[in-house]
Amino acid sequence: MFLKPSEVSKRYSAIEQVYPMLKQEWDRFHHNLEWKDFSHYQDQTIHSEGKGHEILEEDYFLAPPADETTEWAIAPLYYRKIPYTPNTDTLPRVTKTLKWAGAIQYAGFVRLKGGCQLGWHYDPDPNKYLQRIRFQLPFCTMGTILQTETQEKVQAEGKLQCFVSSALHKVQNQSDSVRYALVFDHFRMGKGKL
Protein backbone atom coordinates (compact mmCIF):
# COMPACT_ATOMS: atom_id res chain seq x y z
CA MET A 1 0.00 0.00 0.00
CA PHE A 2 1.54 3.28 -1.16
CA LEU A 3 1.16 6.48 0.86
CA LYS A 4 1.93 10.12 0.18
CA PRO A 5 5.03 11.25 2.12
CA SER A 6 3.10 14.29 3.42
CA GLU A 7 0.54 11.92 4.99
CA VAL A 8 3.31 10.56 7.18
CA SER A 9 5.31 13.73 7.89
CA LYS A 10 5.65 17.11 6.20
CA ARG A 11 9.38 16.92 6.94
CA TYR A 12 9.70 13.82 4.78
CA SER A 13 7.99 15.47 1.84
CA ALA A 14 10.43 18.40 2.20
CA ILE A 15 13.30 16.00 1.41
CA GLU A 16 12.30 16.15 -2.26
CA GLN A 17 12.78 19.93 -2.17
CA VAL A 18 16.40 19.61 -1.05
CA TYR A 19 17.10 16.65 -3.36
CA PRO A 20 19.16 18.72 -5.86
CA MET A 21 21.59 19.67 -3.06
CA LEU A 22 21.76 16.05 -1.85
CA LYS A 23 22.35 14.84 -5.40
CA GLN A 24 25.29 17.23 -5.82
CA GLU A 25 26.92 15.74 -2.74
CA TRP A 26 26.10 12.22 -3.95
CA ASP A 27 27.64 12.85 -7.37
CA ARG A 28 30.88 14.09 -5.80
CA PHE A 29 31.36 11.55 -3.02
CA HIS A 30 29.29 8.36 -3.46
CA HIS A 31 32.32 6.49 -4.82
CA ASN A 32 33.81 6.79 -1.31
CA LEU A 33 30.91 4.99 0.40
CA GLU A 34 31.53 1.64 2.05
CA TRP A 35 29.19 -0.83 0.33
CA LYS A 36 28.37 -4.19 1.89
CA ASP A 37 27.24 -7.23 -0.08
CA PHE A 38 23.87 -8.47 1.16
CA SER A 39 23.16 -10.88 -1.71
CA HIS A 40 23.71 -13.83 0.66
CA TYR A 41 21.28 -12.29 3.16
CA GLN A 42 18.74 -11.99 0.36
CA ASP A 43 19.15 -15.70 -0.48
CA GLN A 44 18.74 -16.71 3.18
CA THR A 45 15.72 -14.56 3.94
CA ILE A 46 13.80 -13.13 1.00
CA HIS A 47 14.24 -16.06 -1.39
CA SER A 48 13.82 -18.84 1.16
CA GLU A 49 11.32 -17.31 3.63
CA GLY A 50 9.59 -14.57 1.65
CA LYS A 51 10.30 -12.00 4.35
CA GLY A 52 13.00 -9.58 5.28
CA HIS A 53 14.72 -9.44 8.63
CA GLU A 54 16.09 -6.52 10.59
CA ILE A 55 19.68 -5.88 9.54
CA LEU A 56 21.61 -5.30 12.74
CA GLU A 57 24.95 -3.68 13.51
CA GLU A 58 26.83 -6.98 13.52
CA ASP A 59 25.33 -7.86 10.13
CA TYR A 60 27.00 -4.79 8.62
CA PHE A 61 30.36 -5.64 10.12
CA LEU A 62 30.16 -9.31 9.07
CA ALA A 63 28.93 -8.68 5.51
CA PRO A 64 31.64 -8.84 2.87
CA PRO A 65 32.53 -5.75 0.87
CA ALA A 66 30.50 -5.33 -2.31
CA ASP A 67 32.07 -5.17 -5.75
CA GLU A 68 30.69 -4.50 -9.24
CA THR A 69 29.30 -8.05 -9.51
CA THR A 70 27.21 -7.73 -6.32
CA GLU A 71 23.49 -7.90 -7.07
CA TRP A 72 22.23 -6.18 -3.90
CA ALA A 73 24.40 -3.99 -1.70
CA ILE A 74 23.82 -1.59 1.18
CA ALA A 75 25.82 1.46 2.25
CA PRO A 76 24.50 1.90 5.80
CA LEU A 77 24.03 5.35 7.32
CA TYR A 78 22.07 4.57 10.51
CA TYR A 79 21.00 1.44 12.33
CA ARG A 80 18.94 1.84 15.51
CA LYS A 81 19.77 5.56 15.47
CA ILE A 82 23.51 4.81 15.58
CA PRO A 83 25.50 6.46 12.78
CA TYR A 84 27.67 4.28 10.60
CA THR A 85 30.42 6.89 10.53
CA PRO A 86 32.43 5.68 7.51
CA ASN A 87 29.38 6.65 5.44
CA THR A 88 27.76 9.46 7.45
CA ASP A 89 31.10 11.30 7.36
CA THR A 90 31.23 10.82 3.59
CA LEU A 91 27.78 12.36 2.98
CA PRO A 92 27.29 15.03 5.69
CA ARG A 93 24.43 16.85 3.89
CA VAL A 94 22.44 13.66 3.49
CA THR A 95 23.16 12.83 7.13
CA LYS A 96 22.09 16.27 8.35
CA THR A 97 18.87 16.06 6.29
CA LEU A 98 17.99 12.66 7.73
CA LYS A 99 18.62 13.91 11.28
CA TRP A 100 16.47 17.01 10.66
CA ALA A 101 13.65 14.81 9.33
CA GLY A 102 13.97 12.38 12.24
CA ALA A 103 14.68 9.52 9.82
CA ILE A 104 17.56 7.85 11.66
CA GLN A 105 16.05 4.66 13.08
CA TYR A 106 17.28 2.84 9.99
CA ALA A 107 18.68 4.57 6.90
CA GLY A 108 21.10 3.78 4.14
CA PHE A 109 21.66 3.62 0.43
CA VAL A 110 20.78 0.49 -1.49
CA ARG A 111 22.27 -0.57 -4.78
CA LEU A 112 20.48 -2.98 -7.10
CA LYS A 113 22.39 -4.22 -10.11
CA GLY A 114 20.81 -3.91 -13.55
CA GLY A 115 18.56 -6.83 -14.47
CA CYS A 116 18.17 -7.87 -10.82
CA GLN A 117 15.33 -7.76 -8.33
CA LEU A 118 14.39 -8.15 -4.70
CA GLY A 119 11.60 -10.70 -5.11
CA TRP A 120 8.21 -10.76 -3.42
CA HIS A 121 8.58 -10.39 0.34
CA TYR A 122 7.35 -8.46 3.33
CA ASP A 123 9.25 -6.77 6.13
CA PRO A 124 7.81 -7.64 9.55
CA ASP A 125 6.80 -4.73 11.75
CA PRO A 126 8.70 -4.30 15.05
CA ASN A 127 5.72 -5.41 17.14
CA LYS A 128 1.96 -5.82 16.92
CA TYR A 129 1.35 -2.14 17.78
CA LEU A 130 3.78 -0.47 15.34
CA GLN A 131 3.81 -0.28 11.55
CA ARG A 132 6.96 0.26 9.49
CA ILE A 133 6.65 2.78 6.67
CA ARG A 134 9.48 2.39 4.16
CA PHE A 135 10.68 5.41 2.19
CA GLN A 136 12.73 5.21 -0.99
CA LEU A 137 14.34 8.17 -2.72
CA PRO A 138 16.01 7.09 -5.97
CA PHE A 139 19.30 8.84 -6.74
CA CYS A 140 19.92 7.04 -10.00
CA THR A 141 17.32 4.85 -11.59
CA MET A 142 16.13 3.82 -15.01
CA GLY A 143 13.46 1.21 -15.52
CA THR A 144 13.00 0.37 -11.85
CA ILE A 145 9.55 -0.66 -10.68
CA LEU A 146 8.32 -0.90 -7.09
CA GLN A 147 5.29 -3.15 -6.71
CA THR A 148 2.96 -3.92 -3.85
CA GLU A 149 0.17 -6.51 -3.94
CA THR A 150 -2.25 -3.97 -5.38
CA GLN A 151 -0.14 -1.29 -7.09
CA GLU A 152 2.87 -0.80 -9.31
CA LYS A 153 4.89 2.41 -9.58
CA VAL A 154 7.85 3.31 -11.73
CA GLN A 155 10.57 4.93 -9.65
CA ALA A 156 11.81 8.35 -10.71
CA GLU A 157 15.01 10.05 -9.64
CA GLY A 158 14.44 12.52 -6.81
CA LYS A 159 10.82 11.44 -6.23
CA LEU A 160 10.15 10.05 -2.76
CA GLN A 161 7.95 6.95 -2.50
CA CYS A 162 6.63 5.40 0.69
CA PHE A 163 4.62 2.31 1.48
CA VAL A 164 3.69 -0.01 4.31
CA SER A 165 6.54 -2.49 4.04
CA SER A 166 4.70 -5.28 5.86
CA ALA A 167 2.61 -5.53 2.68
CA LEU A 168 3.95 -7.94 0.10
CA HIS A 169 6.25 -6.01 -2.27
CA LYS A 170 9.15 -6.32 -4.70
CA VAL A 171 11.60 -4.12 -6.60
CA GLN A 172 12.72 -4.88 -10.13
CA ASN A 173 15.54 -3.13 -11.95
CA GLN A 174 14.58 -3.78 -15.56
CA SER A 175 17.43 -1.69 -16.96
CA ASP A 176 21.09 -2.45 -17.60
CA SER A 177 22.12 0.35 -15.20
CA VAL A 178 22.65 0.22 -11.46
CA ARG A 179 19.79 1.61 -9.36
CA TYR A 180 20.75 3.61 -6.26
CA ALA A 181 18.20 4.76 -3.67
CA LEU A 182 18.21 6.29 -0.22
CA VAL A 183 16.03 4.12 2.02
CA PHE A 184 14.77 4.97 5.50
CA ASP A 185 12.06 3.77 7.85
CA HIS A 186 9.40 5.53 9.87
CA PHE A 187 7.40 3.79 12.59
CA ARG A 188 3.83 4.75 13.51
CA MET A 189 1.15 3.35 15.76
CA GLY A 190 -0.99 0.80 13.98
CA LYS A 191 -1.63 -2.89 13.66
CA GLY A 192 1.76 -4.47 13.08
CA LYS A 193 2.30 -7.63 11.05
CA LEU A 194 4.91 -9.94 12.51
Which pLDDT does position 53 carry in this prediction? 67
Model-wide pTM > 0.75? yes
What's the CATH architecture for 2-189?
Sandwich (2.60)
Cα–Cα separations (whole angstroms), residue 6 to 9, 10, 11, 160, 192: 5, 5, 8, 10, 21
Whole-angstrom distance, CA of residue 127 vs CA of residue 98: 24
C-alpha neighbours within 13 Å on the C-beta side of residue 92: 1
Expressed in angstroms, the distance from the first to the final Cα of the chain is: 17
C-alpha neighbours within 13 Å on the C-beta side of residue 132: 23
The H or E element that residue 36 is part of is strand 36-37
pLDDT by 10s per residue, the chain, length 194: 799 998 898 899 899 999 999 999 999 999 999 999 988 777 777 767 777 767 777 888 889 999 999 999 999 999 889 999 999 999 999 999 999 999 988 999 999 999 999 889 888 888 899 999 999 999 987 889 999 989 999 999 999 999 999 889 999 999 999 999 999 999 888 888 87
Which pLDDT does position 119 carry in this prediction? 87
